[in-house]
């Protein structure tokens, strides 16, 4: 089988277009689609300082490398990488090293921010306290809420104007369905492709890999020879997301393009919902971070443990 574009040996057939790709054309095609996403949705502006969240996993390494190719040489643009160390014993260490080396290879400044340093406790310690105090929240809830806050704080501290994360098409389609199934429709407003409205104190987030399916991100990472880090966090659990992932993968194999259709539907719905919901953001009463509520979610979960956010 030959690559449709250059006649070299093909290694991948797109289930959507039926096109055959050799390794080089496949990578160029992915980069071209990311470039199209950035341009079409105006994800970046001249002079942006882009903080890339790099966990050391495949999505974040692909994001770092593609943004480096597409953005690093644009005048005025600055790239910085950030890794969050949640403090899960035996888990994040390897990812941290992979992220550090990947950034160093490209000459991108790399920072690490840890829960321990910022909140005073590792995630292990926080979750231990939650179990002892019988707070019925899972480790992943603390992790997600506290990670989001720390990324925003760090982005402001470093003077970043955008935060880029490695969410891919599968992540986005799953999140959209989770919100629909839970009835949290207003959250779809935040899932749109454009950087959200500029709130005071909130650094806008963008997802340049939003239209790239997970398997294509994985293939790009493999073909690029990235050192992959797929250790599993001990708190990983069977979740609604896993069930939706399974269901979407099954549907996608029968009806290629379904994940893409879900994400495109969100693209159209998000601006309508945003207009409808009209969120007002104000400083959290405890910590001053921007929130749509009186007390931000991070302070709320920490308060249950008797920790001041």
Among 233, 286, 290, 304, binds Zn ion (CB under 5 A): 286
Tell me which residue of 147, 293, 297 sits closest to 233, measured CA to CA. Answer: 147
Site residues for ligand SF4, window 83-102 (CB under 6 A)?
86, 88
- Residue 297 CB, shortest distance to Zn ion, in Å, is 8
- How many residues belong to the chain? 309
Contact between 287 and Zn ion by CB under 5 A: the answer reads yes
Among 89, 181, 236, 272, binds ligand SF4 (CB under 6 A): 236
Cβ neighbours of residue 153 under 8 Å, at least 6 residues apart?
A: 113, 118, 289
Contact between 202 and ligand SF4 by CB under 6 A: the answer reads no
Instruction: Say whether 43 sits in a helix, a strand or coil.
Output: coil
221-246 burial, b if ≥16 CB within 10 A, otherwise e?
bebeebeebeeebebeeeeeeeebbe
Among 11, 137, 158, 233, binds ligand SF4 (CB under 6 A): 233
- Residue 142 CB, shortest distance to Zn ion, in Å, is 14
Using the minimum distance from each CB to Zn ion, give the nearer residue, 119 or 211. Answer: 119
Contact between 131 and ligand SF4 by CB under 6 A: the answer reads no
Contact between 144 and ligand SF4 by CB under 6 A: the answer reads yes
Stretch that binds ligand SF4, among 63-71, 95-103, 104-112, 231-239 (CB under 6 A): 231-239
Contact between 139 and ligand SF4 by CB under 6 A: the answer reads yes
CA distance 212 to 19: 15
State the CB neighbour count (10 A cutoff) for residue 149.
23
The DSSP line for 100-115 is: HHHHHHHT-EEEEEEH
Q: Which residues make up the interface to ligand SF4 (CB under 6 A)? A: 86, 88, 139-140, 143-144, 233, 235-236
């Amino acid at each position: 089988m030959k690559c449709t574009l250059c006649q070299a040996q093909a290694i991948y057939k797109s289930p959507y277009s039926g096109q055959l790709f050799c390794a080089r054309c496949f990578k160029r095609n992915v980069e071209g689609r990311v470039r199209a996403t950035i341009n079409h949705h105006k994800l970046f502006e001249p002079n942006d300082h882009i903080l890339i969240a790099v966990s050391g996993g495949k999505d974040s390494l692909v994001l770092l490398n593609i943004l480096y190719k597409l953005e690093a040489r644009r005048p005025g643009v600055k790239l910085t990488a950030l890794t969050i160390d949640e403090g899960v014993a035996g888990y994040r260490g390897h990812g941290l090293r992979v992220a550090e080396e990947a950034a160093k290879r490209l000459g991108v400044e790399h920072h690490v921010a840890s829960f321990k340093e910022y909140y005073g406790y590792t995630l292990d310690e926080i979750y231990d306290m939650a179990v002892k105090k019988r707070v019925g929240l899972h480790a992943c809830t603390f992790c997600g809420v506290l990670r989001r806050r720390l990324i925003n704080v760090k982005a402001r501290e470093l003077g970043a104007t955008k935060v880029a994360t490695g969410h891919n098409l599968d992540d986005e389609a799953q999140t959209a369905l989770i919100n629909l199934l839970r009835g949290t429709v207003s959250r779809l407003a935040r899932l749109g492709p454009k950087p959200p409205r500029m709130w005071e104190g909130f650094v806008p987030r963008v997802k340049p890999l939003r239209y790239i399916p997970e398997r294509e991100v994985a293939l790009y990472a493999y073909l690029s020879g990235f050192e992959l880090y797929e250790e599993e966090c001990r708190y990983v659990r069977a979740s609604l997301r896993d069930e939706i992932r399974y269901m979407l993968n099954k549907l996608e194999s029968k009806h290629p393009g379904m994940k893409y259709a879900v994400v495109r539907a969100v693209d159209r719905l998000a601006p309508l919902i945003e207009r409808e919901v009209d969120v007002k953001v104000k400083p959290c009463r405890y910590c001053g971070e921007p929130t749509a509520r009186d007390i931000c979610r991070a302070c709320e979960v920490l308060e249950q443990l008797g920790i001041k956010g």
